[in-house]
Copies of this chain bind each other. A is one copy, B any other.
Amino acid sequence: MTRNTALVLDNFLPYRLSVLSNVLSQSIAREYDKRFGLSITEWRVMAVLGCTTNISAREVAERTAMDKVAVSRALAKLLEKRQIERARSPLDKRASVLRLSGEGRRIYDLVVPLALEHEQRLLAHLDSEEQVWLTRILDTLWDAELAESMR
């Protein structure tokens, strides 16, 4: 069956990107869940709180590219597990002030090397030239696409 405009899914860029990133996320998600009972959204929140303390949920949402509802729910679970602590901001009584708890920090310190390992495992398939290009291409697309999606 020949078409005037061929579309072979296997060569279709958005499709390939989506499948690849899903396979990747899934495999990471499984491991985080199994070893730490963490979902990807929870881990993203922890990742941000790991290097930036005392920020609000809104800022977490911004930095994780998650929407505020997802963040709110992830925070609720992390609070329940006592892996983060929350206070009200004295400056803005609507806003919360978030940080990892001692236990949260402990888990964070365990997950980080694991995450970096995952990244290395991925990069290991590429030679150094490819690695540089990948970073560069992601930078470009990130800026272009995220800018558009914010509109």
Query: Measuring CB to CB, which residues of chain A are less than 8 angstroms from any residue of chain B?
Result: 1, 3, 5-10, 12-28, 40, 44, 47-48, 50-53, 63-65, 109, 112-113, 115-116, 118-119, 122-123, 125-126, 130, 133-134, 136-138, 140-142, 144-146, 148-149
Contact = CB atoms under 8 A, between A and B. Distances in A.
A21 B24 CA distance: 12
A21 B21 contact: yes
Query: Lowest 7 A-B CB distances belong to which pairs?
Result: A21-B21, A133-B133, A125-B144, A17-B21, A19-B65, A23-B149, A7-B112
A52 B2 CA distance: 9
Interface of A is mostly: helix
B116 A7 contact: yes
Number of copies: 2
A105 to B, nearest CB: 10
Contacts of A52: 1
6 contacts: A3-B51, A7-B116, A8-B51, A13-B119, A14-B28, A133-B134
Given A20-B142, A23-B146, 17 more contacts: A3-B51, A5-B109, A7-B112, A9-B47, A9-B48, A12-B119, A14-B24, A14-B122, A16-B142, A17-B17, A17-B20, A18-B40, A20-B145, A27-B148, A125-B145, A133-B133, A137-B137
Contacts of A63: 9-10
